[in-house]
Structure 1
Amino acid sequence: MDAEVFDEFPSPADELAGRTIAVIGYGNQGHAQAQNLRDSGCEVLVGNRDDEFRAAAQDAGFEVVTIEDAARRAQIMLLLIPDEVQPEVFRDQIAPGLQDGDTIVVASGYNVHFGLLDIADTVDIVMVAPRMIGEGVRDHYERRESVPCLVSVEHDASGRARGTALAVASGIGVLRGAVSSSVREEVALDLFSEQAIWPSIMAIFQAGYDVLANAGFSDDAILDELYLSGEPAEILGRVSRVGMIGQLGLHSKTSQYGQLTNLLRSGAFTDQMRERFAGVLNDQILSGAFSQDWSGSDTEPDADARIAALRKKAEATSLSVAERAVLDRWS
Structure 2
Amino acid sequence: MSVTMYYEEDVATPALAGKKCCVVGYGSQGHAHAQNLRDSGLDVIIGVRHGKSFDKAKEDGFEVYEVAEAVAKADVIMVLAPDEIQADLYASEIAPNLKSGSAIGFAHGFNVHFGYIKVPEDVDVFMVAPKGPGHLVRRTYTEGFGVPALFVSHQNATGHAREIAMSWAKGVGCARVGIIETTFKEETEEDLFGEQNVLMGGVTHLIQAGFEVLTEEGYAPELAYFEVCHEMKLIVDLIYEGGFTKMRQSCSNTAEFGDFVTGPRIITDEVKENMRAALKDIQSGKFAQDFVDDYKAGFPRLKAYRKEAAQLPIEIIGAELRKAMPFTQAGDDDAFKIYQ
TM-score, normalized by length of structure 1? 0.91
> Is 1:210 the equivalent of 2:186?
no
Partner SS state of residue 159, structure 1: coil
Residues 145, 56 of structure 1: alpha-carbon distance in 2 compared, 3 angstrom cutoff = same
Query: 1:274 aligns to what?
Result: 272
2:25 touches 2:46 (CA, 8 Å); kept in 1?
Answer: yes
Partner SS state of residue 154, structure 2: strand
> Among residues 208, 220, 223, which one is paired with 2:222 in the alignment?
220
1:86-112 deviations in Å (ceiling 9; x for gaps): 001110001111111110110011001
Partner SS state of residue 15, structure 1: coil
Map 1:61-80 to 2 at 5 A.
61-80=61-80
2:295 maps to a residue whose letter is E
The whole-number CA distance in structure 2 between the counterparts of 1:12 and 1:25 is 28
What is the root-mean-square deviation of aligned Cα atoms in Å? Answer: 2.0
The whole-number CA distance in structure 2 between the counterparts of 1:330 and 1:57 is 32
Partner SS state of residue 129, structure 2: strand
Map 1:61-140 to 2 at 5 A.
61-140=61-140
1:184 maps to a residue whose letter is K
Residues 141, 215 of structure 1: alpha-carbon distance in 2 compared, 3 angstrom cutoff = same
1:46 touches 1:70 (CA, 8 Å); kept in 2?
Answer: yes
Report the CA distance between 1:232 and its aligned residue: 0.9
Partner SS state of residue 26, structure 2: coil
The whole-number CA distance in structure 2 between the counterparts of 1:236 and 1:125 is 35
Residues 43, 259 of structure 1: alpha-carbon distance in 2 compared, 3 angstrom cutoff = same
Query: 1:31 aligns to what?
Result: 31
> Is 1:312 the equivalent of 2:302?
no
Report the CA distance between 1:289 and its aligned residue: 0.6
The whole-number CA distance in structure 1 between the counterparts of 2:75 and 2:265 is 53
Deviates more, 1:139-148 or 1:71-80: 139-148
Query: 2:154 aligns to what?
Result: 154
The whole-number CA distance in structure 2 between the counterparts of 1:142 and 1:330 is 28
> Is 1:58 the equivalent of 2:58?
yes
The whole-number CA distance in structure 2 between the counterparts of 1:233 and 1:102 is 43
1:9 touches 1:167 (CA, 8 Å); kept in 2?
Answer: no
Report the CA distance between 1:46 and its aligned residue: 0.6
1:203 maps to a residue whose letter is H
1:327 maps to a residue whose letter is A
Deviates more, 1:194-203 or 1:72-81: 194-203
The whole-number CA distance in structure 2 between the counterparts of 1:37 and 1:236 is 30
The whole-number CA distance in structure 1 between the counterparts of 2:318 and 2:113 is 42
The whole-number CA distance in structure 1 between the counterparts of 2:10 and 2:193 is 35
Residues 262, 322 of structure 1: alpha-carbon distance in 2 compared, 3 angstrom cutoff = closer
Report the CA distance between 1:325 and its aligned residue: 4.2
2:39 maps to a residue whose letter is D
Report the CA distance between 1:68 and its aligned residue: 0.6
Report the number of matched residues: 321
The whole-number CA distance in structure 2 between the counterparts of 1:11 and 1:3 is 17
The whole-number CA distance in structure 1 between the counterparts of 2:318 and 2:137 is 34
Report the CA distance between 1:2 and its aligned residue: 1.1
TM-score, normalized by length of structure 2? 0.88
1:221-255 deviations in Å (ceiling 9; x for gaps): 1112111xx32112111111100232111112222
2:208 touches 2:314 (CA, 8 Å); kept in 1?
Answer: no
